[in-house]
Amino acid sequence: MFTDVFVTPFADYEFMRRALVGSLALALSGAPLGVFLILRRMSLAGDALSHAILPGAAVGYLVAGLSLPAMTFGGLFAGLVVALAAGAASRFTTLREDASLAAFYLVSLALGVTLVSLRGSNVDLLHVLFGSVVGLDDAALLLLVGVSTLTLILLAVFYRALVLDTLDPLFLRQTSAFGEFTPFLFLALVVLNLVAGFHALGTLMAVGVMMLPAAAARLWTRDLAIALPLAAAIGALCCYGGLVFSNETSAPTGPAIILAAGVVYLFSMIFGRAGGVLRLKRPRRHLEG
Burial of 284: CB neighbours in 10 Å, binned 0-12, 13-18, 19+: exposed
Q: What is the mean pLDDT of residues 78-87?
A: 79
Domains of the chain: 2-274 (1.10.3470.10)
Q: What pLDDT sits at residue 282?
A: 62
* Rounded CA separation 24/278 (Å): 31
Predicted TM-score (pTM) of the model is 0.88
Size of the chain in residues: 289
- Summary mean pLDDT of the chain: 85
Is the model's pLDDT at 283 over the cut of 70? no
Average pLDDT, stretch 78-86?
Answer: 80
Among 276, 210, 203, smallest CA distance to 239 is for 210
The per-residue pLDDT for 31 is 96
Contact present, 144 and 199 (Cβ < 8 Å): yes
pLDDT of residue 179: 79
The helix/strand count (H/E) of the chain reads as 16, 0
Q: Does 151 or 110 have the greater pLDDT score?
A: 151
Q: How far apart are CA 179 and CA 174, in angstroms?
A: 7
- CA–CA distances in Å: residue 80 to residues 50, 102, 187, 248: 11, 15, 8, 39
- Reported as a pLDDT band with limits 50, 70 and 90, residue 131 is confident
Query: What's the pLDDT score for residue 120?
Result: 63
**Distant-in-sequence, close-in-space partners of 234: CB < 8 Å, separation ≥ 6:** 31, 213, 216, 217, 261, 264
Quick: pLDDT tens for 91-100: 677 767 667 7
**pLDDT for 2-12, tens place per residue?**
788 888 989 99
Q: What is the mean pLDDT of residues 17-27?
A: 94
Mean pLDDT is lowest, of 107-116, 136-145, 205-214, for 107-116
Residue 154 has pLDDT above 80, yes or no: yes
Mean pLDDT of 34-46: 86
CA distances from 1 to 7, 224, 237, 242, 256 (A): 10, 39, 20, 18, 21
Q: Which residue has the higher pLDDT, 268 or 201?
A: 268
- pLDDT tops 60 at residue 284: no
Overall average pLDDT of the 89-115 stretch: 76
Q: Which pLDDT tens digit goes with each residue over 231-246?
A: 999 999 999 999 999 9
